[in-house]
């Protein structure tokens, strides 16, 4: 049976979806935009700040589920402009490191919701 994951520490869904789903010890998050959960506005400061906020939102959902960033096994990352790839990678590496990062896909898309610069989703396991 799937279990809905919800936390006030991450942005509320802006459509007919949930922040995440837990099923059989696996967490599937919805894509996280760089929205401040309190204001539901994008953080300012460009791709690095937006990447950091998306990852903070992802962390909040994983923490609520009983998992963590350390348990992420796969991310899918969407960039509005592949010219931001290097700056995105700098922040991503700060969070996930280089010794044991998750598998990852990173693609440029024509457009993201609300014209975000980045959106990140993850699959993680739990320790439960």
Question: For the purposes of burial, counting CB atoms within 10 Å of the CB of 92, is it exposed (0-12), middle (13-18) or buried (19 or more)?
Answer: buried
pLDDT at site 128: 59
Confidence at residue 127, expressed as pLDDT on a 0 to 100 scale: 74
Q: How far is CA 73 from CA 27, 65, 82, 103, 126, in A?
A: 10, 15, 23, 6, 11
Query: Between β-strands 3-5 and 26-29, what pairing exists: parallel, antiparallel or unpaired?
Result: unpaired
- ∠5-11-16 over CA atoms, to 5°? 65
**Residue of 18, 21, 87, 106 marked catalytic:** 106
Does the pTM surpass 0.85? The reply is: yes
SS3 for 107? strand
pLDDT in tens, the chain (128 residues): 999 999 999 999 989 999 999 999 999 999 999 999 999 999 999 999 999 999 999 999 999 999 999 999 999 999 999 999 999 999 999 999 999 999 999 999 999 999 999 999 999 999 75
Task: Confirm whether 77 is a catalytic residue.
Answer: no
The answer to whether the beta carbons of residues 75 and 102 sit under 8 Å apart is yes
Pick the CATH number of 2-125 from 3.30.70.100, 3.30.540.10, 3.40.1110.10, 3.30.1330.40: 3.30.1330.40
């Amino acid at each position: 049976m799937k279990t809905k994951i919800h936390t006030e520490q991450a942005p509320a869904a802006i459509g007919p979806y949930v922040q995440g789903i837990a099923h059989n010890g696996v967490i599937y998050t919805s894509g996280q935009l760089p929205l401040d959960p309190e204001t539901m506005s994008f953080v300012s400061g460009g791709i690095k700040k937006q990447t950091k906020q998306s990852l903070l939102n992802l962390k909040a959902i994983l923490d609520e589920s009983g998992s963590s960033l350390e348990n992420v096994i796969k991310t899918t990352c969407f960039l509005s402009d592949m010219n931001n790839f290097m700056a995105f990678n700098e922040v991503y590496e700060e969070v996930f490191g280089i010794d044991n990062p998750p598998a990852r896909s990173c693609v440029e898309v024509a457009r993201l919701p609300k014209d975000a610069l980045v959106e990140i989703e993850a699959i993680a396991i739990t320790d439960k």
